[in-house]
Structure 1
Amino acid sequence: MTKLTRESLVNRLFNDPKNYPYGFSRSGDFSINESKALSQYGALIAALVDGEISPSTPEDESFLASAFGKQDPKSIAEKAWLKYQKRINRPKMGSIYGSHKASVDIDSESTDEDDDIPIELDDE
């Protein structure tokens, strides 16, 4: 297994085919600059947050501090990462009808004969 380095992670494009199958730029959630920054620095920030590599530069320290909420995001990459995390971790919307589709039985819907209106047809 190859050892992860900061340079290899910065050169690796970050993508998320599960949540963004057509890419960040085509999702409509991110601006052009945010999608570029997320693609470029996303793999590095993910590795830092997961603890796969240790921070080696002040920029890495800033990534970690903003990702964990210790400071406000300063760079476009930090803002894009927080926006990405907010989007993928948002609660799933439920249905007001529950987990099953509501089925309506047309025959049992109205059995009252008072609702029937007679229609007269002219034979002329």
Structure 2
Amino acid sequence: MATMNRDQITKKTFNDFKNYPYGFARSGDFSIRESELLSKHGSLIAALINGDAEPMSAEEQSMLAVARGEKAAESPIEKAWSKYQARINRPKVGSMYGRSRYTDEAFEVASSDDDDLVVED
């Protein structure tokens, strides 16, 4: 696997096709500004978290601290990344009907012969 240098990482557009198959802008979860920031800076933040790149400025160190949860988000990119992490790590919603699927037996109606309605022509 080829390693990427810092310039390649920063030029690469960040996409999360697993959680946002149509992109951040079309998801409805992010504003236009937030989706642009994630697309532009997301690859660098992901590389910083994974250890593929080292922080070179105070801003990058701050982004890394926010991504690790060590401090609160202050800049717009930090807020967008925190929102992105909150969205992809939210608990999955279960069924409102319980854990298992319905069976045909659950829909059986108790019938009695006394209540049958017979219509004759």
Q: Do the two structures share a fold, i.e. TM-score over 0.5? A: yes
| 1:1-124 matched pairs, under 5 angstroms | 1-5=2-6, 7-95=7-95, 96-99=97-100, 101-104=101-104, 108-119=108-119, 121=121
1:14-38 deviations in Å (ceiling 9; x for gaps): 0011110100000000000000000
The alpha-carbon deviation at position 43 of structure 1 amounts to: 0.5
Length-normalised TM-score, structure 1: 0.84
Unaligned runs of 5+ in 2: none
User: Alpha-carbon deviations, 1:42-95, whole Å to 9, x = none?
Assistant: 000011111121111111101011112222212211111111111111111112
Q: Secondary structure at the match of 1:109?
A: coil
The count of residues paired between Structure 1 and Structure 2 equals 119
Aligned-CA RMSD value: 2.1
> Which stretches of structure 1, 4 residues or longer, exceed 3 Å deviation after superposition?
105-108, 118-121
Q: Go from structure 1 to structure 2 and tell me whether the alpha carbon gap of 1:111 and 1:28 turns closer, same or farther (over 3 Å shift).
A: same
User: Percent identity between the aligned chains?
Assistant: 48
RCO higher in structure (CA 8 A, sep ≥6) = 1
